[in-house]
């Protein structure tokens, strides 16, 4: 019975980690979109707003990575 409980905990942990990774991927897409907008001339009038959103998004990503111990993401990002 204790084996079942441990397997249940592991699968729940894996599920939560999967959801955390999916959310982190959404943050990466948002960051990439903001970077493209920052470089685009048609958004020049609101560049400071976009830069602020980019900085905030990257801060959230760093906090999220630390909170969920997603250290391997740093390695994957450096390989790209």
Give the confidence band of 71 by pLDDT, cuts at 50, 70, 90: confident
> Comparing C-alpha atoms, which of 53, 23, 22 is closest to residue 36?
53
The whole-model pTM stands at: 0.72
For the chain, how big is the Rg over CA atoms in Å?
Answer: 17
Q: The domain containing residue 73 runs over which residues?
A: 2-79
Total domain count, the chain: 1
Task: Give residue-wise pLDDT tens across range 12-69.
Answer: 677 788 888 899 999 999 999 999 999 999 999 999 999 999 999 999 999 999 888 8
Q: Is the pLDDT of residue 5 over 60?
A: no
CA distance 43 to 77: 27
């Amino acid at each position: 019975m204790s084996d079942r409980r441990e397997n249940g905990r592991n699968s729940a942990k894996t599920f939560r980690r999967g959801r955390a990774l999916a959310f982190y991927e959404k943050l990466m897409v948002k960051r990439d979109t903001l970077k493209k907008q920052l470089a685009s001339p048609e958004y020049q009038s609101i560049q400071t707003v976009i830069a602020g959103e980019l900085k905030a998004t990257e801060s959230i990503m760093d906090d999220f990575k630390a909170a969920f111990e997603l250290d391997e993401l740093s390695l994957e990002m450096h390989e790209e």
